[in-house]
Structure 1
Amino acid sequence: MRENGNKGGSMGRRVLMVILALLLLAAGAAGYLYFRTLSLAKDPVEIVDNGPAPTLSPETPQLEEIIGTPHDIDVDYEVDVIGSEDVPIYKKDRIDEDVLNIMLVGSDLREGEAGNGRSDSCLLVSYNKRTGSISLVSFMRDVWINIPGVGFNRINAAYSYGGIGLLINTVNENFGLDIQNYVLVDFEGFESIVDELGGVEVNLTKKEAQFINGGSSAKVVVKDGMQKLNGEQALVHSRNRKTGDGDFGRTRRQREVLMAIYSKVRTDLSPLKLPSLLNNVFKHAKTNITPETMLSLGLDVMKSSDLSTGNGRIPFDNTWKYANMDGRSVVSINLAKNRELLHDLIYGE
């Protein structure tokens, strides 16, 4: 009996040692993630209390409507850059404590170019803890909007004029939001992130498949339906605005690729691949989100078994028109209606 007791005690000690080892590994991983996350918040854009008094931006001026799709709607018009310093983010009180709004931005600045570049991709990521939902909302680049301190211009010019701070202030002011957090992404990093995941499944049309084949070294099958894209193909697909639907299609494709990445991370990511994937993310992103908030948000999202997702774009359907502004084609929107629909999507029960 004593011998059996010794064996039992020995087994218990071994189990305890394994548990302690696992706890140490978990603590080490958490510590690693915490300190690596700190590197993402290097030189964050300042949030200041003394911004201008909140006011509703004036409605978009009445512009001459253009019938049909303008030939220049995707032209990258140059804009002047005001100063060399980024505009601070003006502090806004949280509208709903259960809803966290984050601005996800990819700049079109090329290597060797000065200034901020334009916001090539601008998406609002909203997590509603109460309803267990995440929404992605794209802001189309050609939306004609009032940029605080600048005047009316295309919304993607806000980033060029004053960086992420001015872009966030522009969205907050016009759409009555409370965005304080941002993630700046090098969209070239999508290639390595997607490849690290082993590719992502995306629903393609024949035209989209042909476009991918024209811009990537590896080819996809020219057909309608789900196909696996590697990193290069996913990036080409995300930047496509040449298959007849302009920026409407491009913003939709970006949301679809992001959701495909999210789905792959939730369902197929091996713990052994996590450090390598995170290193890619850390290399290609900057944010002002605190490590505590980021880790808490990540745990909430990853552990949820019934997280619902939704997406949309500004402008919503039937709230816009193509218009002429001094010889340039822009997207004129019904600001009040878009503000209402956006709030319904983000804060709705």
Structure 2
Amino acid sequence: MLSIPRDLWVSIPGNGENRINTAHFFAEAEKTGSGPAAAVRTVHENFGVDVDAYVRFNFEGLISVVDALGGVPIELETSTGGLSPGIHVLDGESALAFVRDREGSDDFFRMAHGQIFIEALLRKMSDPRAWPLLPGAFISLIHHVDTDLAPWVWPRLLVAVLRSGPGGIDARIISREMVQGFTTAEGAQVLAPDWSRINPILFEMFAQ
């Protein structure tokens, strides 16, 4: 799992250079539903990574899944996201607030929060005591998800996640040491990728 800063300045197929998150925006503005494919193409052309499938879900989906699981406990070593050190059980609304929090305007904090939460969510799902709640969480999810994954893949994916657990996922972030901030001619504050530092991570994770 690789988290990419949304302000990363890259080549957008058919739209020149811009923030990486504009690939989805431009495509959706032109044709509804084309955003995920455009995002996949952008990742492939800039990172050289083949993306086999996409899953897109909205904020309501996150809230409903967390609530269906009865909340998700996270353990923090330091204060972050408005929470003190220790264990906190997040309901849907507080989980959304945590993963969206950027502690000012720093997107790197948001990515870190997202990975903290995903690991906590996987830990909750791997707990046998939560297994009776998984069907309800899945039903909540499918009402808010858009994906090109075949229906028969979902059970296999769930089993793989449960078997691997949170410690079985290689989670990385394109960190602030891998980018250089600069201002575009239009005055936008963006991040230029340092490929000499990013490419080794891509090779380690994807052998590409």
TM-score (normalised: structure 1): 0.53
What's the counterpart of residue 67 of structure 1? Answer: none
What's the counterpart of residue 208 of structure 1? Answer: 81
SS across alignment from 1:145: strand
The 5 Å alignment of 1:9-20 reads: none
- Whether the 8 Å CA contact 1:176–1:339 is kept in 2: the answer is no
Question: How has the CA–CA distance of structure 1 residues 272 and 305 changed in structure 2, closer, same or farther, with 3 Å as cutoff?
Answer: closer
- Whether the 8 Å CA contact 1:238–1:254 is kept in 2: the answer is yes
Counterpart selection for 1:282 from 116, 135, 142: 142
What's the counterpart of residue 237 of structure 1? Answer: 98
The 5 Å alignment of 1:88-103 reads: none
- Whether the 8 Å CA contact 1:197–1:269 is kept in 2: the answer is no
1:141 partnered with 2:6: yes
- Whether the 8 Å CA contact 2:108–2:176 is kept in 1: the answer is no
Q: Specify every segment of 5 or more residues in structure 2 that has no aligned partner in the other structure, as ranges.
A: 28-34
Counterpart selection for 1:308 from 168, 171, 175: 168
**How many residues of Structure 1 are paired with residues of Structure 2 in the alignment?**
199
What's the counterpart of residue 150 of structure 1? Answer: 15
1:234-273 deviations in Å (ceiling 9; x for gaps)? 10011111x2461000011111111111110111454432
What's the counterpart of residue 30 of structure 2? Answer: none
Counterpart selection for 2:42 from 153, 162, 170: 170
Question: How has the CA–CA distance of structure 1 residues 178 and 150 changed in structure 2, closer, same or farther, with 3 Å as cutoff?
Answer: same
SS across alignment from 2:96: helix
Partner Cα separation in structure 2 for residue 318 and residue 258 of structure 1 = 23
What's the counterpart of residue 32 of structure 2? Answer: none
Partner Cα separation in structure 2 for residue 185 and residue 343 of structure 1 = 28
Query: Which has the larger helix fraction?
Result: 2
Aligned-pair Cα RMSD in Å: 2.2
Counterpart selection for 2:57 from 176, 182, 185: 185
Q: Specify every segment of 5 or more residues in structure 1 that has no aligned partner in the other structure, as ranges.
A: 1-135, 210-221
Question: How has the CA–CA distance of structure 1 residues 305 and 259 changed in structure 2, closer, same or farther, with 3 Å as cutoff?
Answer: closer
SS across alignment from 1:263: helix
Partner Cα separation in structure 2 for residue 167 and residue 308 of structure 1 = 26
Partner Cα separation in structure 2 for residue 252 and residue 141 of structure 1 = 13
Partner Cα separation in structure 2 for residue 329 and residue 291 of structure 1 = 41
- Please state how far the C-alpha of 1:224 moved relative to its aligned partner: 1.9
What's the counterpart of residue 159 of structure 2? Answer: 299
Letter of the 2:50 partner, please give it.
Answer: D
Partner Cα separation in structure 2 for residue 306 and residue 188 of structure 1 = 23
Greater Rg by CA: 1
TM-score (normalised: structure 2): 0.85
- Please state how far the C-alpha of 1:313 moved relative to its aligned partner: 1.8
